[in-house]
Amino acid sequence: MGFFSRIKKIWTKEEQAAAAETTAAAATAAASGAAAHAGPIPPVSPASPLSPVPPVQPVTQSGPDGAAPPDALAAELGLALRQAEPRLSVWLAIILSGVDAVSPLLWERLRFLLASLEVPEAEAGAFIDAFAKWLAMMEYTEVEEFRGELQYRLALALDLEDEEDERSRLLLKLSQGLAKTKELVAKRLDHLLASHGAIDAAFWEELEEILLTADIGHAPAAKLLERLKTRARKEGVVDPARFKDFLAAELTDILAPKKAIKAVNPPEVVLVVGVNGVGKTTTIAKLAHRARMGGKKVLIAAGDTFRAAAIEQLAIWAERAGCGFYAKGANADPAAVAYEALALALAEHYDILFVDTAGRLHTKTNLMEELKKIERVLAKKHPGAPHRTILVLDATTGQNALSQTKIFNQAVGLDEIVMTKLDGTAKGGVIVGIALEYGVPITFVGLGEKMEDLRPFNGADFARALVN
Ligand X SMILES: Nc1nc2c(ncn2[C@@H]2O[C@H](COP(=O)(O)OP(=O)(O)OP(=O)(O)O)[C@@H](O)[C@H]2O)c(=O)[nH]1
| Contacts to ligand X by CB under 6 A | 274, 276-282, 304, 310, 359, 420-421, 423, 446-449, 453
Phi-psi region of 95 (alpha: psi -120 to 50; beta: other; left: phi over 0): alpha
Distance CA 350, CA 324 (A): 9
Identify residues 145-164 at the interface with Mg ion (CB under 5 A). Answer: none
Distance CA 178, CA 266 (A): 37
Residue 279 interacts with, from ligand X, Mg ion, none (CB under 5-8 Å by kind): ligand X
With CB atoms as reference, the residue minimizing the distance to ligand X is 446
With CB atoms as reference, the residue minimizing the distance to Mg ion is 281
Q: In what order do the strands lie in the sheet with 442-446?
A: 324-326, 298-301, 352-355, 268-273, 388-394, 416-420, 442-446, 454-456
Residue 277 interacts with, from ligand X, Mg ion, none (CB under 5-8 Å by kind): ligand X
Largest CA distance in the chain: 75
Residue 459 interacts with, from Mg ion, ligand X, none (CB under 5-8 Å by kind): none
Closest to ligand X by CB, 181 vs 420, is: 420
Q: How far is CA 256 from CA 138, 214, 265, 441, 458, in A?
A: 36, 20, 27, 8, 8
**121-130, long-range: CB < 8 A, 24+ apart:** 121/61, 123/3, 123/4, 123/5, 124/4, 125/61, 127/3, 127/4, 127/153, 127/157, 128/63, 128/64, 129/64, 130/322
**Per CB under 5 A, which region of 307-315, 316-324, 362-370, 395-403 contacts Mg ion?**
307-315
298 C-beta neighbours (distance < 10 Å), count: 27
Residue 446 interacts with, from ligand X, Mg ion, none (CB under 5-8 Å by kind): ligand X
Closest to Mg ion by CB, 324 vs 359, is: 359
Residue 85 interacts with, from Mg ion, ligand X, none (CB under 5-8 Å by kind): none
DSSP per-residue letters across 385-434: -SSEEEEEEEGGGTTHHHHHHHHHHHHH--SEEEEE--TT-S-TTHHHHH
Residue type, 412: V
Residue 282 interacts with, from ligand X, Mg ion, none (CB under 5-8 Å by kind): ligand X
**Per CB under 5 A, which region of 21-29, 203-211, 303-311, 441-449 contacts Mg ion?**
303-311
Q: Which of 23, 151, 181, 281 binds Mg ion (CB under 5 A)?
A: 281
**Per CB under 5 A, which region of 66-74, 115-123, 252-260, 275-283 contacts Mg ion?**
275-283
Smallest distance, Mg ion to C-beta of residue 452, A: 20
Residue pair 247/221 in contact (Cβ under 8 Å)? The answer is no
Smallest distance, Mg ion to C-beta of residue 403, A: 20
Smallest distance, ligand X to C-beta of residue 178, A: 13
Count of residues near Mg ion by CB under 5 A: 3
Smallest distance, Mg ion to C-beta of residue 294, A: 23
Smallest distance, ligand X to C-beta of residue 450, A: 9
Closest to ligand X by CB, 96 vs 361, is: 361
Residue 159 interacts with, from ligand X, Mg ion, none (CB under 5-8 Å by kind): none
Alpha-helical segments (H) within 34-163 = 71-83, 88-95, 104-116, 121-138, 143-157
Smallest distance, ligand X to C-beta of residue 317, A: 9
Q: Rounded to 5 degrees, what are φ and ψ at 324? A: -75, 160
Closest to ligand X by CB, 279 vs 386, is: 279
Residue 405 interacts with, from Mg ion, ligand X, none (CB under 5-8 Å by kind): none
Q: What residues line the site for Mg ion (CB under 5 A)?
A: 280-281, 310
